[in-house]
Amino acid sequence: MSYPSDLTSQPSRRDIVSGAALLAGAGIASAGLQGRAAATTRMQSASPAKPWFEISLAQWSLHLALGRGKEKTLENLEFPGYAAGLGIDAVEYVNSFFKAHAGDFGYLRELEAACRAARVQSLLIMVDGEGSLADEDPARRRAAIENHFRWISAAAFLGCHCIRVNAHGGDTAEPRAERAADSLRRLGEMGEHFGIDVVVENHGGLSSNGAWLAGVMRKAAHSRVGTLPDFGNFDLGDGEHYDRYKGVEELMPFAKAVSAKSHEFNDAGDEIHTDYRRMLGIVKAAGYRGRIGIEYEGSKHSEREGIVLTKQLLERVRTELA
């Protein structure tokens, strides 16, 4: 798939048909995926015992086990089963752990089968390393947009509801906001044809300024574009940090997913950097009722222990705030 070289047009019919052909060739139609997602939503809504939010597991919580550590102990295809073993029935992928397989529908079919076997739902793909969507150079920005198209197709195949992207790029705040919003709108237009949302995480630098990222959302003004507020990613650089509670509150009106970042726990089982009661109170007050993803990335506890501690804390506070 390619995008118009002048970056002024909407996705062409050729782009849309090309993307649809990828899915059709893999044996799955986007309309069917949307129907399956709608059926899942209806099933969950019909359950009288459904809590006000459910929990998912972000793959980055296991980045050491998946190969970012000294020894790889977990394969990407084993991730759904690992989550199920912890009593978690929904997963969030990171593209870097299967980047070579974005357009490999044979591999994606194996991953989808692993989810079915574990009775685990695929929620989203966190996309990194595909170029800066707010790049000052038009050619590089065009390439970044095109690089994300394949992840929209992969997400649709797996039955996800969104991909997570970044709003990185050079220049000062206002021009960068304009470019980021334009790129996000174009990705939203493509995602619209596959039932896939495009969400931006506060992920360092200017994107960790909640007011700035909320402004980008208003500029993008597309129903398929939103945010993924992360409880802990508010490092502005140069030793400065944005207030995490203010930032999450500013991003929640646009939230289509939420990430419960954790690093370290005290003996009472509370995260020492984030007041989860205060943070989840902000999430609930915003009317959010979707999944909240565990993203442990500390070093004091093992990855498994950190995931379990985060899950227990989320469950405890969820009950308190019910």
Please write down the HEC assignment for all residues of 127-141.
Answer: CCCCCCCCCCCHHHH
Given a cut of 90, whether residue 297 has pLDDT beyond it is yes
Looking at residue 39, what is its pLDDT?
37
Q: Which amino acid is it at 172? A: T
Please write down the HEC assignment for all residues of 185-222.
Answer: HHHHHHHHCCCCEEEEECCCHHHHCHHHHHHHHHHHCC
| 171 is a domain residue | yes
Q: How many H helices and E strands in the chain? A: 10, 10
| pLDDT (average), residues 88-117 | 97
Domain that holds residue 36: 13-47+55-321
| 117 is a domain residue | yes
Looking at residue 233, what is its pLDDT?
93
Looking at residue 32, what is its pLDDT?
39
- Domain with residue 136: its CATH number is 3.20.20.150
Q: What value does the mean pLDDT of the chain take?
A: 90
| 116 is a domain residue | yes
| 1 is a domain residue | no
User: Considering its fold, how many domains does the chain have in total?
Assistant: 1
Tens of pLDDT, residues 131-177:
999 999 999 999 999 999 999 999 999 999 999 999 999 878 999 99
Q: Which amino acid is it at 317? A: V
Share of residues in the chain with pLDDT > 70 (%): 85
Looking at residue 76, what is its pLDDT?
98
Tens of pLDDT, residues 14-62:
454 455 555 555 554 444 344 444 434 433 444 457 999 999 999 999 9
| 8 is a domain residue | no
Whether 273 contacts 264, CB under 8 Å: yes
| 4 is a domain residue | no
Cα 89 to Cα 87: distance, rounded to the nearest angstrom: 7
| 7 is a domain residue | no
Whether 205 contacts 168, CB under 8 Å: yes
Looking at residue 70, what is its pLDDT?
84
Tens of pLDDT, residues 51-102:
999 999 999 999 999 999 889 999 999 999 999 999 999 999 999 999 999 9
| 6 is a domain residue | no
Query: What is the pLDDT confidence band of residue 251, given thresholds at 50, 70 and 90?
Result: very high
Given a cut of 60, whether residue 267 has pLDDT beyond it is yes
Cα 148 to Cα 209: distance, rounded to the nearest angstrom: 24
